[in-house]
Amino acid sequence: MTAIVTTTAPTPQRHQLLGATTRPLGLLLITGLLVVVLLASLTLGSRYIPLQTTVDAFLHHDHTNAEQTVVLTLRVPRTLIGLMAGVALGLAGAVMQGVSRNPLADPGVLGINAGAALAVLIGVFFFGATTLSGYVWFAFAGAGVAVVTVYAIASIGRDGATAIKLALAGTAITAMLGSLTTLVQLMDVRTMDAFRAWSVGSLAGRGADVADAVWPFIVIGSVLALTTSRMLNALALGDDVARALGVRVERSRLICGAAVMILAGAATAAVGPVAFVGLTVPHVARALVGPDYRWILPYSAVLAPLLFLGADILGRLVVAPAELQVGVVTAILGAPVFIAIVRRKQVRSL
Amino acid sequence: MTPMTQLAASPASLAYVTKARARTTGRVRRVTTALALAVVLAFLLSLSLGDFLVPIWHVPSDVVGSGDAAEVLVVQHLRLPRAILALPVGAALGMSGAVFQALARNPLASPDILGITAGGSLSAVVGLTVLGLSGLFLSFAATGGALVTAVLIYVLAYRQGLSSYRLVLVGIGVGAIALALIQFFWTRAHTYDAASAALWLSGSLNGRGMESIWPILVMLAVAVPATLVLAKRLGVLELGDDTAAAVGLAVQRSRALLLLAAVALAGAAIGAAGPVAFVAFVSGPIARRLTRTGSAALVQAALTGAALVSVADLVGRTALSSSEVSVGVITGIAGAPYLLWLLARTNKSGRGN
């Protein structure tokens, strides 16, 4: 019965694309790609703005230049938030899949998205929050409460928070919070209207205030996440083996859980619930570099913003002058990749 | 089977097996009867309770139209369509979920997880917000969407046969796309359309009349017998692909047919009431646990589903005096404790790892 959730994620993969010598090179290459995408995010959009204008806006700012104002108030914050949210989602997904040994884990699974969504809705309905910077704090609080609750429920009993118990508790809490969210939505049309703009992951209209609110969390969370690679490698061998190797399993799980909560909470607060980046990117990283989390984590941290910002740019261009929300684009781009991985891999039968 | 029976030749062991079988059959019969009574009771209660209380012993005469005029109006016109609709919706979801879970040999594999619900919802939301569909056409759009999604998942997951694992994963992927598109159309819609879409997406029986009942009944008239005929193959498939093939079952074809039947059931229910959360998920395990036969218990799962949806709709209709709560919201809130209980149970039996 437990097959979905207990299938071990980091089973050694015989067919990784990159060998020991090419891995650093590969990381360098995708970092270069990320820089290109960052620059593209500053220049492309419903209106093309040359890179020179961006440089000028920083070096010798001209108040009368409308394009420079657009760059400073819209494009730069948007790109920075996309970068930060991408890094956070990629790292959170990778750590979560490692710690729960569940290849399907992503911020949705531990109830983070659901908790944040309900909290935002409560903020709108009961406290009249209307601005995005107002949403951020509600979302963050909701994500935190949800994760702590899920972790506490999963910890009840003899073995502590095991992989399957985390996944089941997360599913249960997600379902319950989702229903409560629906309940509040159906009570008031105006609240629903304000909420649905946030509830699709989007970078549109996210300004410097959002970036200011989330950046410390993302920096701390990322540093914390990058330190967990050894723990994740040990946990991948199973709790008993990890214990035998001298790893303090419970403590490691707690640290990983904290990193996930900070990262996914901040990302969800900033851009809304984005389901697919955290799920897909670690799989791509794993296919590239193999099961070693010392490589999976940095690769995920670079690949995720690459996918996220790329999707955002695409969303701005395809239906210009309107926009497709980045959450929609990542799902449409990410899901086929995910399906392709599932089809290619030799997966065991349930 | 015959060689096995010949092997178990000792009279004592044969007597033991016969006795055990008789005991099981007896329990199954008792459980089925109890579930059927629960469904009838829930049905009568949902006709009787509400802002206007109709004594439950008046209900039968009100249904046939021979009671007090005011009561007849309330029972026949306001409550009866909805109370009737809850039954096929719940039964279809329960049976569909039980088939899915038995096929995947995994209690987490319900139409919700496999993305089929999301596909049905997507076509309904598009129908509602873009094409302006309502009523019957909306039902058909949702059912059609669920079927198309299922075919898509099947085709994408098929690779030298169909592994359950791949099916679940591909389903999650397809479901993610469908959810993203639902969100897209939902944010694009006008406030009024978005509100009706949200109501529909919550899984709701609010304001359904008699005319919304017959499409699901027609679909179930085909899908339920088909599923029951295929149930024998399901039992064999549950032994594992290799065993099933060794017994001479056409594994892939049987699985495809069973999937089709289960999707048709789920699609019919989604078309009629929207994605009612958790019913497909919990009915099968509850029925299994009650009958304790170790088989999928499809009829019992259907009865469980019907009882669950009836009771949940009744609660949603009467719990808050100010407004109606969708049945899907109630089942969603009630489903979480069930999962937590599952968790505690797994924990106690030492299978927590």
In angstroms, the CA A256 to CA A96 distance is 7
pLDDT, one tens digit per residue, over B298-333 is 999 999 999 999 999 999 888 876 677 888 888 888
A325/B168 touch (CB, cutoff 8 Å), yes or no = no
Nearest CA in chain B to A335: B173
A165/B166 touch (CB, cutoff 8 Å), yes or no = no
Q: Does residue A6 surpass a pLDDT of 60?
A: no
pLDDT band for B98, please (50, 70, 90 cuts): very high
Window 89-108 of A: residues touching B by CB (8 A cutoff) are 104
Give the model's pLDDT for residue A158.
66
Please say whether the beta carbons of A107 and A113 come within 8 A: yes
pLDDT, one tens digit per residue, over B176-216 is 889 888 888 888 888 888 888 888 888 888 877 777 788 88
pLDDT, one tens digit per residue, over A90-106 is 999 999 888 877 777 77
A343/B157 touch (CB, cutoff 8 Å), yes or no = yes
Retrieve residue A293's tokens.
């989390």
Total domain count, chain A: 1
Of B183, B202, B332, the CB nearest to A186: B202
In angstroms, the CA A82 to CA A309 distance is 6
Mean pLDDT of B264-278: 88
Exposure of A190 in the CB half-sphere (CA atoms within 13 A): 6
Please say whether the beta carbons of A276 and A338 come within 8 A: yes
- State the DSSP code for A101: T
- Mean residue pLDDT across chain A: 81
Mean pLDDT of B252-274: 89
Residues A86-118 as b/e (b if ≥16 CB within 10 A, e otherwise) read bbbbbbbbbbbbbbbbbbbbbbbbbbbbbbbbb
Among candidates A102, A92, A91, which has minimal Cα distance to A236?
A: A102
Give the model's pLDDT for residue B193.
84
ipTM of the complex: 0.70
CA distances from B198 to A189, B275, B280 (A): 10, 11, 20
Give the model's pLDDT for residue A250.
83
First to last CA, chain A: 9
CB-based contacts of A276, cutoff 8 Å, min separation 6 = A106, A327, A330, A331, A334, A335, A338, B176, B180
In angstroms, the CA A163 to CA B113 distance is 19
Longest dimension (CA), chain A: 67
The answer to which of B27-31, B146-150, B171-175, B261-265 has the lowest mean pLDDT is B171-175
- Comparing B253 with A73, which gets the higher pLDDT? B253
Neighbours of B144 (CB within 10 A): 17
Q: Does residue A343 surpass a pLDDT of 50?
A: yes
Q: Does B353 touch chain A (CB under 8 A)?
A: yes
Longest dimension (CA), chain B: 74
**Cβ-Cβ contacts under 8 Å, B336 against chain A:** 172-173, 175-176, 179
CA distances from A86 to A36, A171, A275, A318, A325 (A): 15, 24, 12, 21, 15
Mean pLDDT of B272-288: 87
Window 160-219 of A: residues touching B by CB (8 A cutoff) are 162-165, 168-169, 171-173, 175-176, 178-180, 182-183, 185-187, 189, 192-193, 196-197, 199-200
- Comparing A1 with B154, which gets the higher pLDDT? B154
A186/B278 touch (CB, cutoff 8 Å), yes or no = no
Give the model's pLDDT for residue A12.
47
**Percent share of chain A, pLDDT over 70:** 88
The CATH number of residue A41's host domain is: 1.10.3470.10
- Residue whose tokens read 């009650």: B290
**Cβ-Cβ contacts under 8 Å, B278 against chain A:** 175
Q: Compute chain B's Rg from CA coordinates.
A: 22
In angstroms, the CA A61 to CA A72 distance is 10
Give the model's pLDDT for residue A10.
47
CA distances from B293 to A229, A317, B20, B24, B25 (A): 46, 58, 11, 7, 9
Mean pLDDT of B242-252: 84
pLDDT, one tens digit per residue, over B113-170 is 778 888 999 998 999 888 888 777 888 888 899 989 988 988 888 877 667 667 777 8
What is the torsion angle, in degrees rounded to the nearest 10, for the CA atoms of residue A319, residue A325, residue A329 and residue A330? 160
Distance to chain A for B106, nearest Cα, Å: 5
One DSSP character per residue, A126-195 reads: HH---SHHHHHHHHHHHHHHHHHHHHHHHH-STT-S-HHHHHHHHHHHHHHHHHHHHHHHHH-HHHHHHH
Of A169, A183, A350, the CB nearest to B329: A183
The crossing angle, in degrees rounded to 10, of helices B251-273 and B116-129 is 40
B198/A185 touch (CB, cutoff 8 Å), yes or no = yes
Q: Does residue A164 surpass a pLDDT of 70?
A: no
Q: Does residue B296 surpass a pLDDT of 50?
A: yes
**Cβ-Cβ contacts under 8 Å, A173 against chain B:** 336
> If phi over 0 gives left and psi between -120 and 50 gives alpha, with beta otherwise, what is residue B333?
alpha
In angstroms, the CA A302 to CA A322 distance is 28
Cβ-in-10-Å burial (0-12, 13-18, 19+) of B336 comes to: buried
pLDDT band for B350, please (50, 70, 90 cuts): very low
- Mean residue pLDDT across chain B: 83
Give the model's pLDDT for residue A162.
66
CB-based contacts of A192, cutoff 8 Å, min separation 6 = A185, A186, B194, B195, B198
Exposure of A233 in the CB half-sphere (CA atoms within 13 A): 15
Cβ-in-10-Å burial (0-12, 13-18, 19+) of A210 comes to: buried
Please say whether the beta carbons of A115 and A143 come within 8 A: yes
Q: Does A343 touch chain B (CB under 8 A)?
A: yes
The answer to which of A220-229, A321-330, B104-113 has the lowest mean pLDDT is B104-113
pLDDT, one tens digit per residue, over B214-232 is 888 988 999 999 999 998 8
Of A180, A196, A350, the CB nearest to B105: A350
Q: Does residue A153 surpass a pLDDT of 90?
A: no
A172/B241 touch (CB, cutoff 8 Å), yes or no = no
pLDDT, one tens digit per residue, over A40-87 is 988 887 678 887 887 887 777 777 777 888 777 788 888 999 999 999
- Comparing A238 with B9, which gets the higher pLDDT? A238
Please say whether the beta carbons of A250 and A305 come within 8 A: no
pLDDT, one tens digit per residue, over A127-145 is 877 676 777 788 888 888 8
Give the model's pLDDT for residue B8.
52
Q: Does A342 touch chain B (CB under 8 A)?
A: yes
pLDDT, one tens digit per residue, over A281-290 is 998 898 888 8
**CA-based angle A147:A149:A152, to the nearest 5?**
105
Retrieve residue B103's tokens.
């096929």
The whole-angstrom distance between residue A258's C-alpha and the CA centroid of its chain comes to 14
**Percent share of chain B, pLDDT over 90:** 22
pLDDT, one tens digit per residue, over A288-341 is 888 899 999 999 999 999 999 999 999 888 877 777 888 888 888 878 877 887
Domain span at A240: 4-349
- Comparing A174 with B30, which gets the higher pLDDT? B30
Of B157, B176, B186, the CB nearest to A335: B176
Q: Is A45 helix (H, G, I), strand (E, B) or coil?
A: coil
Retrieve residue B141's tokens.
């759009």
Please say whether the beta carbons of A303 and A285 come within 8 A: yes
Exposure of B151 in the CB half-sphere (CA atoms within 13 A): 6
Distance to chain A for B36, nearest Cα, Å: 28
In angstroms, the CA A110 to CA A142 distance is 12
Please say whether the beta carbons of B122 and B178 come within 8 A: yes
In angstroms, the CA B275 to CA B1 distance is 41
Give the model's pLDDT for residue A34.
94
In angstroms, the CA A131 to CA A340 distance is 39
Q: Does residue B42 surpass a pLDDT of 90?
A: yes
- State the DSSP code for A347: P
